[in-house]
Structure 1
């Protein structure tokens, strides 16, 4: 009974979610999966709660005890009176109408001293009590279960709807940015508030409305495109061979001549011996010795034989996008438009990394550093904490790069893409840091930069990063400094002697 009631309630919840948030769920398979998972967990928790919280468990135990006692046949008056008392207590607890005089009369008639009630009639009275007891118990328990299931279902709806309503309001912005709402939040955390929603709307709107910044997001989102490499590998392949084998148990075709005594298969030349009395004796002798020439009949059956062979095959090996490390300058020189751009870019890249299931690590730096691990079970609330930060202090990139280089040694962040977002108004980097960068670059790590100001030092940075983009917030234009400089250097490179 419990499973059917819980299953019905879960189907009702699913239908209500589809009716209210069908558009949102249709555009996000991950969000639909989260909702389905929460409903399945709710079903298991509800079934457990119905078992552990049932207020009628004691009454059910007393009823089972009475059934076992009455099945033995030897019922005392005290036992019958106790069972009736327990039954009437159940009726009172669930406010079910009872008839105490009727049951008192049953006890009196069953154990009257001047009347000998047959044992069969006494058993009928006991069975009647057990049947009525079971009816009242089932009705009370079912009513309580329906009420409790509805309470738990309402709690589930309220918990999930609080998040789904926020995501429904964000859906137009998320679609404009190409972001999956299911990758942004964990429905089980329930940490988002109206203030968090306002923060996210602010930055998401800025990203969606600034075409230049949106183009920059698309550009940076394509860092280290998936590369395909071909390789030859030996694989074991199963082949099925059809073998035609003779079947001695069937008589389908003539396959030869044999000696025997099967008269139905004897050759006509042997049967001709019966035409003469003298040669008939020879036929009888051959028959006794099983030396009559006969047709050899057999059938053909097909058997499938599996053969495993090694073959060389050319396969395409896909190299997935690596981890992402974001170093964001939060110094006072980044206040204003650079701060807005940095926060918007961080929001976009962090959510993209989560959507692509790429490990992501955020390092904020000014004179010191603050880190935020964005991999695993982080949600939208984590990145919103960064969006609420105020930028202040001086700029020292060395600690941030040093921490990032150490992070690249971890197994999770090998072959990572590091992006530094800053106005690059900073001092020179220590030679040891520059040497470590070259060492990590040799291990497959890549270094990129996004300049969001105009007072940067190109000559120093062009040897530090693999690519460097400059974003002009006034004109919403993008320039690639490092790539352009390399083309100029190659064009005017001195010819070989």
Structure 2
């Protein structure tokens, strides 16, 4: 590209493609100083540094640009993020171009139609430039404030950060970003649903404690196996010396002499009460099976919470069929956000099965969830029929894996589906053999509870929409 440029304009080859035409056709100043300034500005922003004085803009305009970068906090997000740096420079160039092109008409309004002093015109133009750059700073402040909020949400959900990655693709203007923030506010108002999520997942040993428990068990268990002999003190098989006790059969004759004395017999009774009578020490041996010496702990589901255990994983089956369209769909997605946040905070696994009609299934894993996947979840749905068998069979298959053994399943739906006899039998067998609990959350009304009750126990009915409808209008 540089070979076709006029001599002395090779700097244009260093311009990004998105800025090339804007820099070349810009009406302010000369081309070479303008191109040098933009290339240097991009390089300094990439290092997180403020722009240095150049030959293109006046000192007052450069000062206002530096103020814009600091005021909007855009400078920190430009560092090592070329997409953000290019977007900032592009906006600055567009504002300066707008000021330059509109200045003749603006000057008529600001300084009047007559011949104004050159100094007054420069001051008016400087005020106009400052005002336009101030509006741009406010625009970037709002944008970066949104990024910061979204990054906070992303951190709570355990997904990759969002800052500075989606400027070129236009995702910053995606409605799903705002849905994400709105649903986050909804979740704070649904206390009943939060309590339901906290019940999911059977108790399991805390991974941080498992090593210590294993070590203790190893120390308590005998090192050898097979028949062994253990010496048992007190068994009358062999005399091994003298000891003190309250056993009359092993008491020395010397102690019996105290019983015939009119005063010392009181001392004898006191020494017997204190197990202090001189007695023969006896012992014996007993054969034992060292392999079964200590009782082995049994795996089971405890009741309540304990310091050495934590909740198991969550398997969330979310109905996204056409019958869920509207507020029910929004509540269900709010449940997904809260489940992901809870799993991240408590170091629990969480799988979300989005399902619709036959063969329509999508799986989200909180350990590998990305921001684009989360945004797709918020703005899309299958919007077809309802096949509840597909996600439940996938969830039951997942329970066969060791890391998901202690998971519970939550089915979120409006109950508008059919349950086959084969599915009922498969769910019953899983409950019997694996001890899995299948919770149901009915988003709708009690008239549709029949299908949910064939699979889930218990079924939670959520039909109080009034508070959420008020939140939706906020």
Q: TM class, shorter-chain normalised?
A: 0.3 to 0.5
Please, what TM-score do these two structures have when normalized by structure 1? Answer: 0.42
Structure with more of its chain in strand, by fraction = 1
The structure with more radius of gyration: 1
